[in-house]
Structure 1
Amino acid sequence: MSKPIVAIVGRPNVGKSTLFNSLAGGNISIVKDTPGVTRDRIYADIEWLGRNFTLIDTGGIEPDSSDVILSQMREQAQIAIDTADVIIFITDVRQGLVDSDSKVADMLRRSHKPVVLVVNKVDNFDKLMPDVYEFYNLGIGDPVPISASSKLGIGDMLDEVSKYFDDVEAEEEEDERPKIAVVGKPNVGKSSIINKLLGENRVIVSNVAGTTRDAIDTQVTWDGREYIFIDTAGLRRKNKIKEELERYSIIRTVTAVDRADVVVVVIDAVEGVTEQDAKIAGIAHERGKGVVIAVNKWDAIEKDDKTIYKYTNKVRETLSFMPYAEIMFISAQTGQRLSKLFETIDMVLANQAMRVQTGVLNEIITEAVALQQTPSDKGKRLKIYYTTQVSVKPPTFVIFVNDKELAHFSYIRYLENKIRDTFGFKGTSLKFIIRERKEKES
């Protein structure tokens, strides 16, 4: 089930970041148990009344002239149109309706994407409502008055935004075919891999304006089974500064990963594994997806009998937060081991959807506890009452214990390894939820 993507677009100083931060709250910090993954303040996972969505900040604008503002706003709007399911267009009641607002509104209207028009800095609804009505002139629906800094009207705004989620979810539900996202840094060979799989140049990579409409979904049939490949390539505009490209590729990656069942992280063998690779792989890890690490351009590496071993160690070291990921050495150029890619994807898909019977699961846990005592603190020892698997994609387990504080991360990791020893679960992360139960209840 993929989460809807919501993007914020607006001029400088209308309160984009204030709105982003007040929605994201404090939960944007680095995820504790994931070394190597910093959370850029580009996206945040938000929950509203039981609905989860990903919020994207399309980027800051450096105002030095109104022309620059307009062109950069168009760029932002384009990113939002390309990647988001719902767009929040934010304006400022104090500055009133500005020419560039109207121009961007035209663009958003033509995209036929759902847009929620938000008028910010409305600190006093009684007094400022007449000024809010002026924004009806944009012709993109009813303006929703808010004050991002005082958190007024935010609930009404989120209600409007989430009205559109059902359509997004219904569309996704219908398609049962496995979705595979191919992600990685620019120029690691993502499109070449898909082209090779298709046996033809179906994925057009060109930098003519107008072909940046991305996340090109391609259907690939292999051994009678259909797969949808989501390609995040494209956007090779020469004039883009590095930070902007990086931001864009992270937004792209987040949106592709959200929709995927299995993520193929492509690494350039010649360049070796980098921090940026870890950042990209971390997005898939954080979202509990199946992961295959494909080291591409393997044909270009001089090898001896130790090369694969050394290389695997280096990848494992840099991506130490995902020891479960499958590593493959491929070449899109020569087609080397590409057929193995499908076998690996199928295995990961099966593991993502695997369910373990509760009886068997508790036997493994009991045995694990017998082999290695649970942690204790000040004479109180962790007791594990019961474990059960509650969902798949990723396989998620609830462990009922006497005291949450005693369930140390390292011990849960130990139990995870025991479960993996028995069932494999190769290529997928496992999620553990610790629930406390008082002695009496158990």
Structure 2
Amino acid sequence: MNFTVAIVGRPNVGKSTLFNRIVGKRISIVDDKPGVTRDRIYALVEWKGKKFTIVDTGGIEPGGTDLMTTQVRRQVEFAIESANLIIFLMDSRDGLLPADEEVANILRKSRKPIIAVVNKVDDYSMKTGLYEFYRLGLGEPVFISALHGSNVGDLLDRIVEFIGESEEPEYDESVIKVAVIGRPNVGKSSLVNALLGEERVIVSDVPGTTRDAIDTPFEYEGQQMVLIDTAGLRRKSRIKEDIEFYSHLRALQAVERADIALVVLDATEEITEQDKKIAGIAHESGRGIIIVVNKWDLVEKDDKTIYRYTENIRDELAFIQYAPVIFVSAKTKKRVNKILELIRFVMDQYTFRIDKAALNELLEDATALVAPPTIKGRKLKIYSLEQTGIKPPTFVLTVNDTELLHFSYVRYIENKLRERFGLEGTPVVLKGRNRKRND
């Protein structure tokens, strides 16, 4: 179950500060000026073994009528609609304002569970002066300081009480989990149908197991796979930002459960910022990636068309140079079967292990070709390169001082790994570690 929690309140009560505190890093922009967070920002969070998606929203100004206020309010309303639980945040220093009561009335109409949270409580001996917040009738408020982290753990405990046991199926490690992601109207539904319609694919129907995705287990040439389909996007508004929000949120939740993401593009349209953001979700999540260019049958071609398209994709999606590109037509099913073959290949790369002797040989060759850098008179020394994990392949460079391990040299070693061992379709994680005295 993809459980979603929306932080809602009037402007400048500390919503972004609370979001950042929960997520554990500064994702939202925090500013004292009201209305800084205009778009919803979201992240996956885990607390006491329970996972949920937290959504930051812009401030609701109940009486505002200008265009920006109206757009922010519409965004917040869509966040509320997509949420399972609402954190209603207020400011202890301001006290309970009429604007808070108006926001509370809006939230009650959603009929969603609400946790009333009072922020900026730095002196708990003054808690008796905060009883006015009980007047809202939303149950026992949680008094916190998002800035200092006070009682945020208690708030997280309250949140996970609302999260039931996961309804997501558990699959054997041998099953390849594939998320189909992309912006609306690129042909994800048609692609899923074409993939499952192949003669060599045996389909077993499983009803939807999450709010926003449908899992379809199937078998391809003896390999068990499951498609996590996010294509069922209902157009609840013609407003572009709302559609982008839903596609991003569903992509985030689907990719979290997958091994490999099929990033679907529309061959008849230019690559958009939304395409880049969705591809970025898969990349930042460390998943294997295949770029699927759909509707290739609608493109007028000459002998150089495919090369021009590929070059454009490499330019626009430069951060996933490692991802293979395949051109298909879900409508005619041309080359669709090649996707299934490519999934197996990328999974092999995603779980690829390299023995220590081969890594030592690569390190020796790489450092002989390009010596480790010297920074401010100190030379980087690399003692070993070892693999510490898969999904994605993860490596550790043991060095004399990680401060000397410049990102450009890390990239150089990564490129050498790819040149020698392939690792196509998978990110590579390369970390530095200082050598201990007993190493």
- Whether 1:75 and 2:78 are equivalent positions in the alignment is yes
Structure 1 residues 42 and 122: CA distance shift in structure 2, 3 A: same
Displacement of 1:298: 0.3
* Alpha-carbon distance change, 49 to 125 in structure 1, aligned in 2, over 3 angstroms: same
1:2-401 equivalences under 5 Å are 7-13=5-11, 14-24=13-23, 27-28=26-27, 42-44=41-43, 55-58=54-57, 60-61=59-60, 63-64=62-63, 75-81=78-84, 87=85, 89-92=87-90, 94-95=95-96, 98=101, 101=104, 104=107, 118-128=117-127, 131=131, 134=134, 137-138=137-138, 143-161=141-159, 167-168=165-166, 171=168, 173=170, 176=173, 177-199=175-197, 214-224=212-222, 225-237=224-236, 239-401=237-399
- The CA distance in 1 between the partners of 2:146 and 2:362, in whole Å, is 50
Contact 2:180 2:261 in 1 (8 A): yes
Structure 2 equivalent of residue 33 of structure 1: none
Provide the secondary structure at the position in 2 that maps to 1:346: helix
Residue 206 of structure 2: aligned partner: none
Structure 2 unmatched ranges of 5 or more: 30-38, 204-209
Distance 1:261 1:285 in 2: 12
Gaps of 5+ in 1: 31-39, 82-86, 203-211
Write the deviation string for residues 112-160 of structure 1: whole angstroms up to 9, x where unpaired.
Answer: xxx7653434444343357288379436xx5422133454322322344
Percent same amino acid among aligned pairs? 45
Deviation for aligned residue 1:186: 1.8
TM-score by length of 1: 0.78
Give the CA deviation at 1:275: 3.1
Contact 2:7-2:88 within 8 A present in 1 as well? yes
Q: Which one scores higher on RCO, CA 8 angstroms, separation ≥ 6? A: 1
Aligned-pair distance for 1:328? 0.4
Q: Which amino acid aligns with 1:307?
A: T
Structure-1 separation of matches of 2:75 and 2:367: 58
**Distance 1:149-1:228 versus aligned 2 partners, 3 A rule:** same
Contact 2:40–2:57 under 8 Å retained in 1: no
Report how many residues are paired. 406
**How many angstroms does 1:369 deviate by?**
1.2
Secondary structure, in 3 states, of the residue corresponding to 1:321? helix
How large is the RMSD of aligned CA atoms in angstroms? 3.7
2:16–2:28 Cα contact (<8 Å) kept: no
Q: 1:60 to 1:340 in 2, by over 3 A?
A: farther
- What TM-score results when the alignment is normalised by the length of structure 2? 0.79
Q: Could you list the per-position Cα deviations for residues 399-425 of structure 1 after superposition, in whole angstroms to 9, with x for gaps in the alignment?
A: 111121222222211211221222211
Q: Does the 8 Å CA contact 1:9/1:73 hold for their aligned counterparts?
A: no
2-side partners of 1:335 and 1:316: how far apart? Answer: 25
Question: Equivalents in 1 of 2:57, 2:172: separation in Å?
Answer: 28
- Tell me the CA shift for residue 280 of structure 1: 1.6
Rounded Cα–Cα distance in structure 1 between residues aligned with 2:287 and 2:164: 22
Equivalent-residue separation in structure 2 for 1:397 and 1:79 (angstroms): 39
Shift of 1:296: 0.6
For residue 81 of structure 2, what is the amino acid of its counterpart? Answer: Q
1:138 is paired with a residue of what secondary structure?
coil
